[in-house]
Every structure is written in structure tokens, then in C-alpha cells.
């Protein structure tokens, strides 16, 4: 089923993995999310990786945005990943499945101010991010690698 359609922040339909046999490991309270903004439970170096099930009409893209001034800004810094539409002459109008695995390393030094959000879009039109409450279609991993 569709969990997000259009360009912009993915602010609805996130859920913690509860699929039996999926191998989810929860240590402590974990990452929390409110209105599409993710809060980290502790400081440190975090690896964030997304595996989207995503369709767009030409030039599909995923953006991971981070900020370190959430309460006073925020000033979002974008990391953009674009799907390949080169074999369509850069103007594909048909649906294209994106094979993107955006990943970033985030040095969280203040859990109140350092935040992350995901955005979806397309260079030529809107995108659709897929999901399901009974299986894992679009997945994001948050892994704490060590101290800052």
C-alpha cells in the first residue's frame, strides 16, 4: 500500500518494525519519530540507511536531511540520492522503480537539537513511497556506531 505520495517530507505512516521474524533489535527506547522528524536516544556517531520501495515518473529521488539547531531553526542540510533515468533521455514520463539505498553518518552531539527527516520526490513529477503494516517495504536503519 502507499504510505506517502508527492514531493516533500514523509511525515505520516511511520511505524517501528513489529513484523515477526524480521530480526529487529531494540536496545533501550530507540529512535523516536514525531511528524516525520526523528530524534536520537543518545549522542554518538550514527549510521542511518534507508531502503525505500519507491516509484516515480522520471528522476526519482530520496533526501535525508539533518539539522543541529532544531529548536531555533531548523536549518536542514540535505543529502540527495537520485535514481537513474539516463536511459530515458532525462525526461521519462513512465513509472520508474528507484533502486536507491541512501546512507549517511551523523555525529549526534545534542539529542535535543540534532534531528533527521526523510523526503521523497522526483525531478519531473511526484513520487510514491510504499509501505505495509504487515511487512517491510520501506525500511530505515539507525545504528549507533560509537561515541562522538
Mapping DSSP onto H, E and C, the string for 67-116 reads: ECCCCCCCCCEEEEEECCCHHHCCCCCCEEECCCCCEEEEEECCCCCCEE
pLDDT at 92: 46
pLDDT at 67: 93
From the first residue on, what is the mean pLDDT of each consecutive set of 10 residues in the chain (148 residues)?
Answer: 58 71 64 91 94 69 86 86 50 54 92 91 64 79 92
pLDDT at 85: 47
| 118 neighbors 9 (Cβ within 8 angstroms) | yes
pLDDT at 89: 42
pLDDT at 51: 83
pLDDT at 18: 67
Angle at 120 between CA 81 and CA 61, to 5 degrees: 30
pLDDT at 35: 87
Amino acid at each position: 500500500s502507499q504510505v506517502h505520495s508527492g514531493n516533500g517530507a514523509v511525515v505520516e505512516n511511520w511505524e517501528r518494525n513489529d513484523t515477526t521474524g524480521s530480526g529487529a533489535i531494540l536496545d533501550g527506547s530507540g529512535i523516536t519519530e514525531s511528524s516525520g522528524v526523528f530524534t536520537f536516544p543518545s549522542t554518538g556517531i550514527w549510521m542511518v540507511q534507508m531502503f525505500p520501495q519507491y516509484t516515480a515518473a522520471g528522476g526519482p529521488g530520496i533526501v535525508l536531511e539533518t539539522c543541529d539547531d532544531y529548536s531555533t531553526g531548523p536549518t536542514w542540510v540535505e543529502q540527495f540520492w537520485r535514481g537513474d533515468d539516463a536511459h530515458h533521455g532525462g525526461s521519462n514520463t513512465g513509472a520508474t522503480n528507484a533502486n536507491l539505498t541512501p546512507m549517511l553518518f551523523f555525529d549526534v552531539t545534542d539529542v535535543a537539537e540534532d534531528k533527521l527527516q526523510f523526503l521523497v520526490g522526483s525531478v519531473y513529477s511526484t513520487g510514491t513511497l510504499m509501505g505495509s503494516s504487515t511487512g517491510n517495504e520501506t525500511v530505515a536503519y539507525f545504528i549507533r556506531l560509537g561515541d562522538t
